[in-house]
Amino acid sequence: MTLKAELDARKAQFLQTAPREKVDAYQRGVDELLAAGVAARAVQRGDAAPDFTLRNAKGVPVTLSKLLKQGPVVLTFYRGGWCPYCNLQLRAYQKALPELRAAGGQLVAVSPELPDKSLSTADKNALEFEVLSDEKGEAGRAYRLFFDLSEELRQLYAAGGNDLSKWNADGEWHLPMPATYVIGQDGRVTYAFVDAEYRNRAETADLVAALRVLRKKAA
């Protein structure tokens, strides 16, 4: 089953079981981002990838530019371990990790959640790649992915046990749009997936293909 099929199945379940007001509120949030064109403002293919240094789930600093000296990087921004769609994505990427590595890539995941939450996410999904905490929101802002949640969504999230002021390291009610990049060793983005619809994510096959193109060019 493709990642898209898993995500679509999760979305269909939500639409069937969730209260109508909740479904409508979530959709309004997506529609507002789409109407504002926020995804188009994010870092795109051909752009220079902003460098950053963030702590991993064990508190060790990880710097993008240093990783790039070892090879291309697949960089994915996710919302948090509380998000079921993010967990589906992270597990799919873990499953595809051998293929990604065979194609020459290193996988790095970034979220705004607290380091201990990142550790829980990594453990829960048995992740064998770097999971970084964007504690001050610097990476999310540099890639122009952050957006603030409406008051309506804040109340719904909190009522559902997802108080982002407690999940996010900076205590802010903001999230990154789900985004995945393939970054070449020259620091340029060669593949970009950014979507205001949080239930859409980059397919692993597309990431492997982008890495193989880089490898072919380097040969």
pLDDT by residue (tens digit) across 157-181? 999 999 999 999 999 999 999 999 9
For residue 218, the model assigns a pLDDT of 83
For residue 212, the model assigns a pLDDT of 97
pTM reported for the whole predicted model: 0.95
For residue 193, the model assigns a pLDDT of 98
What are the residue ranges spanned by the domains of the chain?
Answer: 3-218
**Please, what's the b/e burial string for 147-185 (b: 16 or more CB within 10 A of its CB; e: otherwise)?**
bebeeebbebbeeeeeebeebbbeeebbbbbbbbbbbbb
Domain range 3-218, its CATH number among 1.20.1250.20, 3.40.50.620, 3.30.70.2190, 3.40.30.10: 3.40.30.10
For residue 174, the model assigns a pLDDT of 94
Region 40-57 average pLDDT: 96
Per residue in 202-217, pLDDT tens?
Answer: 999 999 999 999 999 8
Per residue in 65-124, pLDDT tens?
Answer: 999 999 999 999 999 999 999 999 999 999 999 999 999 999 999 999 988 888 788 788
**pLDDT of 125 above 90:** no
For residue 48, the model assigns a pLDDT of 98
